[in-house]
C-alpha cells in the first residue's frame, strides 16, 4: 500500500509541475521531494508507536526500508524530470536563437528585394521618359517656327498643339518637371554648359540662355541635363552704359514734367 501511494503521489507531482515556471522548476521539485520524504517519515512513526504485538515490531524495519526505497525512487524520478526540463530549456533557447537569426535574414532579404525593385522600376521609367523628351522638343520647335497663314493651317496647328499639351500633362502626372535655367547659377549637377561668353546683363557664372530644356523627376533626380549658355562676366562699359541709360531716362522724365 505504501508503494502504491508513493507512486500515485509522484504522478500527481509530475502533473502539477507542468505548469511551473522554468526558472523555479528545479527548486520546486527538490522542495516537493523533501516534503514527501518528511511526510513518509511522519506517517510511519505513529504506526510504529501504536503497535504492541511482536509481529508488528518485526515488520517495522521491512516497512521502513520499503518506504525509504519508494522515497528514493520518487526522488530519483524528480531528479530525472529536472534534468529533462533543463535539457528541454536549452533546446528551446537554441531553437529560439535559430528563429531570430532566420527572421533577421529574411527581413534583410525582403528590404533588399524591395529596394532593388524600386531602383529597377525607376531605371526603366527614366529610360522610357528620356525617349519621350525629344518628341516634346520637336513640338516646341514646331511651335516656334510654324506660323499659320490660313484657316486650314491654323486648324492643323491647333490639333498638334492639343497633342503637345496632352503629352505635357502625362509627363507632369508621371512626376516630370522642367528646370528653370535662365538667370540661375550654373550647377554641373543640373546643367551642361556648351558655351560661355560675356553678358551685358548677367554676372559671371549665371546662365544667360537655355539651348535645350532640362527635366527632373519627382524625387529631384535629373532626368536630362539642360544645355545652357553661361556668362563669363559683364561686358566692359556695360555698367556705365546702364548708368547712362538710367540718367537719360531720369532727365527725360524731368524735362517732360517741365
Residue at a domain's end among 56, 88, 109: 109
Mention every residue, 6+ apart, whose C-beta is less than 8 A from residue 78. Answer: 10, 13, 29, 30, 32, 33
- pLDDT, residue 40, reads 58
For 74, the domain range is 2-109
Q: Same domain for 8 and 104?
A: yes
- pLDDT, residue 1, reads 40
Our count of domains for the chain comes to: 2
- pLDDT, residue 108, reads 94
d(CA 56, CA 78): 32
Residue at a domain's end among 79, 94, 109: 109
- pLDDT tens-place values along the chain, 258 residues long: 434 444 444 445 444 544 445 556 666 666 766 766 666 556 544 444 444 444 455 556 667 777 778 778 888 888 888 888 888 888 999 999 999 999 999 999 999 999 999 888 888 888 888 888 998 888 888 887 777 778 777 787 788 788 888 888 888 888 888 888 898 899 989 999 998 888 888 888 899 999 999 999 876 788 899 999 999 888 765 454 445 555 555 555 554 444
The cell numbers describing 182, all together, are 535662365
Residue at a domain's end among 77, 109, 141: 109
- pLDDT, residue 173, reads 87
201, part of any domain:
yes
243, part of any domain:
yes
Amino acid at each position: 500500500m505504501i508503494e502504491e501511494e508513493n507512486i500515485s503521489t509522484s504522478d500527481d507531482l509530475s502533473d502539477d509541475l507542468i505548469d511551473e515556471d522554468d526558472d523555479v522548476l528545479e527548486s520546486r521539485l527538490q522542495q516537493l521531494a523533501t516534503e514527501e520524504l518528511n511526510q513518509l517519515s511522519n506517517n510511519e512513526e505513529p504506526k510504529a508507536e501504536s503497535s504492541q504485538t511482536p509481529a508488528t515490531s518485526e515488520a517495522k524495519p521491512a516497512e521502513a526500508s520499503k518506504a525509504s526505497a519508494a522515497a528514493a525512487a520518487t526522488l530519483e524520478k524528480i531528479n530525472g524530470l529536472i534534468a529533462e526540463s533543463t535539457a528541454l530549456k536549452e533546446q528551446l533557447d537554441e531553437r529560439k536563437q535559430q528563429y531570430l537569426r532566420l527572421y533577421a535574414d529574411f527581413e534583410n532579404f525582403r528590404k533588399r528585394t524591395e529596394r532593388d525593385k524600386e531602383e529597377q522600376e525607376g531605371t526603366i521609367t527614366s529610360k522610357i521618359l528620356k525617349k519621350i523628351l525629344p518628341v516634346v522638343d520637336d513640338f516646341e520647335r514646331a511651335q516656334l517656327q510654324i506660323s499659320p497663314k490660313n484657316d486650314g493651317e491654323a486648324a492643323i496647328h491647333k490639333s498638334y498643339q492639343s497633342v503637345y499639351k496632352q503629352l505635357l500633362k502625362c509627363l507632369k502626372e508621371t512626376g516630370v518637371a522642367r528646370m528653370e535655367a535662365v538667370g540661375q547659377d550654373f550647377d554641373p549637377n543640373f546643367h551642361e554648359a556648351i558655351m560661355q561668353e560675356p553678358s551685358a546683363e548677367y554676372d559671371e557664372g549665371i546662365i544667360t540662355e537655355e539651348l535645350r530644356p532640362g527635366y527632373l523627376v519627382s524625387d529631384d533626380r535629373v532626368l536630362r541635363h539642360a544645355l545652357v549658355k553661361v556668362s563669363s562676366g559683364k561686358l566692359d562699359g556695360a555698367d556705365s552704359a546702364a548708368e547712362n541709360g538710367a540718367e537719360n531716362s531720369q532727365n527725360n522724365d524731368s524735362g517732360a514734367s517741365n
